[in-house]
Amino acid sequence: MTPIAGGKGELLEPRGRAALRGRFGILWMFLPGWRDAFDPFLAHHERSIDRAGLALAHVTMDMLSLLALQRDISVLGDLYPVLGDLLSGRKQLPPSGEISAAVKGGLGGS
């Protein structure tokens, strides 16, 4: 997991967020009129959402590790230092299913 500048509050702002990477784009827009309806849901399911995010991070790291056997993906470490630390083994994700204060802050393990 990687931290988001500004945290949850930044993501829940009414203005959209976008990231463009080559031919791919991701757009996130939270509709502020629905925020009050989603906050209790997110709070109630927070632990499950965190576990699912950590499980997805593990699968992603496994896939990237396999891709690294076939292609040079070292540029990812330059673009995304946290990802570079994970791929190089300088940092580790916490074990799947383990939610800790470190994960809540963005990246667990050492």
What confidence tens digit (pLDDT) does each residue in 74-97 have? 898 888 899 999 999 999 998 876
Which range of residues forms the domain containing residue 100? 7-105
Render pLDDT for 35-71 as a digit per residue (tens, 0 to 9): 788 888 888 998 888 888 889 999 999 999 999 999 9
Task: Let me know if residue 1 belongs to a domain.
Answer: no
Q: Model-level pTM?
A: 0.58
Phi-psi region at 22: left, alpha or beta (left = phi > 0; alpha = psi -120 to 50):
left
Tell me whether residue 110 is in a domain.
no
Position 11 in a domain: yes
Count the domains in the chain: 1
The Cα–Cα gap between 42 and 65 comes to: 31
Is residue 87 a part of any domain in this protein? yes
